[in-house]
Amino acid sequence: MPELIEKPVCFHDAAVCGEEIKEFVGRISTKTELLSIGLLVFPEGWSEPPQCPEFDEYTVVLEGSLYVDTETAGTLIVRAGYGILTPRGEQIQYRTPEPNGATYIAVCFPAFSPELTHRKQNGVELPKTVQPQETSEKRTSQSRIVMCCRPTYLQGTGYVLKQVEEYFGYLNNNSQTVSIIRVQSYQGCKEEFQNIQYDNYYIVLKGELHFCIEYSCAEQSDTWIKAVAGQAIFVRRGESFRCTAPTPNGAEYIMVSHPPYDRNDNTPSCFSDNNNFSDDNNHIIATNKEPFRLTPSTSL
């Protein structure tokens, strides 16, 4: 049964002043060691000590600009709507020198802990590039840092009334570990029943998401689980459910899937509204504006 995470654990890292961390999934909030998912808010002028983590960190910037100083690729600017992967073993330093700071989602494998960061003390800093590199194109650098200038954009029609931005995953950069997708669901969006073969985490940023765990359930029955902004839902692999956005303002959320989300692994229930995957209900528009039609064998 899907689990509601009613409230993230909010804490301040003693070694990183001025940082607010909301951990939805991780060693502190859910006692999860495999991965952590956090919402971080940095003020203008913030910086943390250089570090060489023992975890891969996937970052999606929601607001502002995040500067990432690296040992081998110089300084990279990750602006709102962009993402970056910093692999374990890479010397890095995060900072927010521009006005309004930065707000971002961080997903770490294995789960974040201060002991795994190996922060440098005594004021040691990585050299900063005089002219930082803007995230102007999708690329994989020689330093093993995977930079997405922007996600792959998808827009559904028919019953799929939502816009999808895939930052990491099979479609955008062939991620083999995780997919991170930002979704804007409009009022009336109602997905099919599905039986997923991966763990799904839904972090609600705005609005409400409703999850039905039985096909014949009424909207007010106890077979619905509701998550509002600031909450999260965990759906284990092998569970059947339907996700809807029935409220007037819809919902905006981050979906984190491990292993990566693959449409091949979405097994519709025998009660599905749309078992035949008709073209009308499975049409999306990709980044290049060309029509891209989904079929049962198409991966997202």
DSSP states of 181-196: EEEEEPTTEEPPPEE-
Cβ(62)–Cβ(104) below 8 Å: yes
- Kindly state the tokens that stand for 266: 């979405």
- Kindly state the tokens that stand for 175: 């991620």
Of the spans 45-54, 68-77, 164-173, 199-208, which averages the highest pLDDT?
199-208
Taken in order of first residue, the domains within the chain and their CATH numbers are 3-148 (2.60.120.10), 152-293 (2.60.120.10)
Q: Is the pLDDT of residue 29 over 90?
A: yes
User: If you average pLDDT over residues 273-291, what whole number do you get?
Assistant: 36
Categorize the per-residue pLDDT at 222 as very low, low, confident or very high, splitting at 50, 70 and 90: low
* 122-153: burial string, b at 16+ Cβ within 10 Å, e else: eeeebeeeeebeebeebeeeebebbbbebbbb
pLDDT value of position 135: 64
Cis peptide before 291 (omega within 30 of 0): no
Q: How far is 56 from 83, CA to CA, in rounded Å? A: 13
CA proximity to 216, closest of 193, 187, 249: 193
User: If you average pLDDT over residues 39-48, what whole number do you get?
Assistant: 90
User: If you average pLDDT over residues 6-30, what whole number do you get?
Assistant: 82
% of the chain exceeding 70 in pLDDT: 71
Strand boundaries in 51-185, DSSP class E: 56-70, 74-79, 83-86, 92-96, 102-109, 133-134, 139-140, 146-148, 152-155, 162-168, 179-185
User: If you average pLDDT over residues 44-60, what whole number do you get?
Assistant: 92
Q: How far is 292 from 298, CA to CA, in rounded Å? A: 10
pTM: 0.82
Categorize the per-residue pLDDT at 163 as very low, low, confident or very high, splitting at 50, 70 and 90: confident
* 154-173: burial string, b at 16+ Cβ within 10 Å, e else: bbbeebbbbbbbbbbbbbbb
User: If you average pLDDT over residues 160-171, what whole number do you get?
Assistant: 80
% of the chain exceeding 90 in pLDDT: 37
pLDDT value of position 136: 54
User: If you average pLDDT over residues 89-111, what whole number do you get?
Assistant: 94
Query: Measured between alpha carbons, how far is residue 124 from residues 30, 50, 119, 127 in Å?
Result: 33, 7, 10, 10
Average pLDDT, rounded, for the chain: 77
* Cβ neighbours, 10 Å, residue 282: 21
Categorize the per-residue pLDDT at 292 as very low, low, confident or very high, splitting at 50, 70 and 90: very low
Q: How far is 278 from 166, CA to CA, in rounded Å? A: 23
